Structures are given as C-alpha cells and as structure tokens.
C-alpha cells in the first residue's frame, strides 16, 4: 500500500527502486516556528551514522531512489522534501532560503538530533552549505553532488511577475520541456525512461506547486552564497560528474580550492546527477569518505 498523500499516478511507476521508495515515504508534522507546523514528507532507512539527503530545484526525494538503497545498509539514511518542494506541505508563507533552512532545522531537531552528514545535490548542495554555515553543531560532514553555490540560481526571477510568472511555471510543467531538461542532466540519455520522467513530475500534482516555485524564484534563491563558501569549516566531499552539462565542471575545482578541508572525486561518463546516473560510484565515494565499505 502506497502512502495516500502521493498522487494517484504513483501507481504507474514501473522500476523497483521507484516503487520501493514510494512505499517507504512518510509524512509527519514538523514544528518550524511557534506558529507553524508543516506536514513534511521524507524517507528513512538503515541505522548508524545519520546522513540527510537534500534534492535539487523543482524536485523531490524520488531523486534519491537509486542512491538511498545503496547507503542504507551501512548508515542511517534520510531524504527529505524541503519546504516548497516535493510532497511537503506548501504553507501560506514565504519560500526563501531562510524559511527552507528553518524548516530543515526543525526536521533535524525533531528526528535526527545529533551531528549528521549533510548531502546536497545541485540546489540541494547550496541549501546544505547555507544550513551548515548557520548550524555547524548539526553537521559533521558535507557532501556536495554537482552542487550549486557558485553558480547563479534559476534565471527566471525577472519573469516572476503576473502574468509572466504563470507562463514561466506553465513552461516548466510542459512534459517536453521537462524531458529536455532531464536529457541535459544525464551523460547517457537512455536513463530518461518513462519511469524517470514520472518520478521527476509526480510532485507537480501537489497543491501550491506553481505558487511555491514562483515565490522561491522571486526570492533570488541562493545567489547570495558565493562569497560565504570559504567559511565552511566541516570536512567536505565534492562529487562531480565529468560530463556535467548543467553546471559544467569548473565549479568542482572552485569548491575544492575554496573549502579548506575538502576532497574532490570525479565520476567518469556521468552528467549532472551522479546519484541517479552512477549511484554505485556515488555511494561508494560517500561510504569510503566516511570510512565505511559499500556492500
């Protein structure tokens, strides 16, 4: 039985990792402030060192459907839908890096409660950096998967005024557009299967998707972060696909140079999403960095 908060089209999933992750998903209230509780969707599996996975822009925990099963035999693996994204409730509040960080801290306080390894993919990497700078007591290590931070955020901010805002999100909802973005994210476009397309689009059926995306984009996203990356003090692993056509590869070296205690691992024949295109290599790099062995 799949969770009732997922849209009915979840029944169309065909790949085992997608179906398994859907079955594992939970939704619980998270106190983000004295006045606000947010129904938050997440997945948890395994035991040991806590590792929290943060997805990218306009995505969800389904992004980790291939990585999480490879990590959970060795660690306590968590993946959470950030405020304004995925299947987490979209409350009538601003969706900004500050409110995303507040929500993540509430989640950490409620469920994890000890220093964790924070893994961020693409925009999730920027969110992870921002969180680690604000709450260093909660983060033992950072792992950045083809991370944003140096790169500018979505270039649609100037369009986010009525009626262009609705047109912009309508453009992003278009299946052909989403397919082309997915094809650009992979080195091998054969990974863009019907199941993968469905995983990438399920959350579009959630109430408030368009409004939240507009609000976050109008906030400027993580464009403020570039000059603060050098302040990171926790040990950091940088994992990067050599064929990343979304962010390119220059930022991988920039992260390595600017973060004092960092290590860079390249994944060959891999694009912007190593956790989806090369999950065994990505999991192996993370577990090796933590002193663990992959099963």
Tell me the pLDDT band of 217, cut-offs 50, 70 and 90.
Answer: confident
pLDDT digits (tens, 9 = 90+) for 4-39: 999 999 999 999 999 999 999 999 999 998 888 999
pLDDT at 170 exceeding the cut of 50 = yes
Total of domains in the chain = 1
CATH number of the domain within which 238 lies = 3.40.50.1820
> What's the rounded Cα separation, in Å, for the pair 209 and 86?
9
Question: Is 242 a member of any domain?
Answer: yes
Question: Is 263 a member of any domain?
Answer: yes
pTM for the whole structure: 0.94
What pLDDT shows up at residue 117? 98
The beta-carbon contacts of 134-141 under 8 Å, at least 24 apart in sequence, are 134/101, 134/105, 135/105, 135/108, 136/233, 136/234, 138/105, 138/108, 138/112, 139/115, 139/234, 140/115, 140/116, 140/234, 140/235, 141/117, 141/234, 141/235, 141/236, 141/237, 141/289, 141/290
What pLDDT shows up at residue 6? 97
pLDDT at 165 exceeding the cut of 60 = no
Q: Give every strand in the sheet of 139-145, ordered side by side.
A: 26-33, 36-45, 76-80, 50-54, 116-121, 139-145, 236-241, 262-267
Tell me the pLDDT band of 152, cut-offs 50, 70 and 90.
Answer: low
What pLDDT shows up at residue 173? 80
* Mean pLDDT of the residues in the chain: 92
pLDDT at 124 exceeding the cut of 80 = yes
What pLDDT shows up at residue 162? 47
Question: Is 24 a member of any domain?
Answer: no
Does 130 or 155 have the greater pLDDT score? Answer: 130
Question: Is 137 a member of any domain?
Answer: yes
40-50 mean pLDDT: 97
Q: Which domain holds residue 210?
A: 37-289
Question: Is 191 a member of any domain?
Answer: yes
Question: Is 132 a member of any domain?
Answer: yes
Question: Is 271 a member of any domain?
Answer: yes
Question: Is 30 a member of any domain?
Answer: no
Tell me the pLDDT band of 95, cut-offs 50, 70 and 90.
Answer: very high
131-135 mean pLDDT: 98
pLDDT at 164 exceeding the cut of 70 = no
């Amino acid at each position: 039985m799949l969770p009732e908060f997922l849209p009915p089209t979840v029944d169309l999933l065909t790949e085992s990792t997608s179906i398994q992750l859907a079955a594992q998903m939970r939704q619980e209230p998270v106190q983000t402030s004295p006045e606000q509780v947010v129904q938050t969707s997440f997945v948890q599996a395994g035991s040991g060192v806590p590792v929290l996975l943060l997805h990218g822009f306009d995505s969800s925990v389904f992004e980790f459907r291939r990585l999480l099963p490879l990590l959970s035999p060795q660690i306590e693996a968590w993946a959470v839908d950030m405020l304004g994204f995925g299947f987490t409730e979209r409350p009538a509040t601003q969706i900004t890096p500050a409110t995303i960080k507040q929500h993540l801290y509430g989640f950490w306080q409620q469920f994890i409660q000890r220093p964790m390894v924070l893994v961020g993919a693409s925009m999730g990497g920027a969110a992870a950096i921002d969180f680690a700078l604000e709450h260093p007591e909660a983060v033992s290590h950072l792992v950045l998967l083809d991370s944003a931070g140096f790169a500018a955020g979505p270039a649609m901010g100037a369009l986010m005024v009525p009626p262009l805002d609705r047109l912009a999100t309508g453009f992003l909802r278009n299946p052909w557009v989403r397919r082309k973005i997915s094809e650009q994210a992979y080195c091998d476009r054969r990974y863009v299967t019907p199941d993968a397309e469905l995983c990438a689009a399920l959350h579009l059926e959630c109430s408030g998707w368009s409004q939240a995306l507009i609000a976050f984009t109008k906030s400027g996203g993580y464009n403020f972060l570039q000059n603060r990356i050098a302040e990171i003090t926790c040990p950091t692993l940088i994992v990067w696909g050599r064929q990343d056509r979304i962010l390119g590869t220059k930022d991988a070296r920039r992260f390595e140079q600017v973060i004092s205690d960092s290590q860079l691992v390249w994944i060959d024949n891999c694009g912007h999403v190593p956790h989806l295109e090369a999950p065994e290599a990505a999991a192996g790099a993370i577990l090796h960095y933590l002193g663990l062995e992959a099963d």
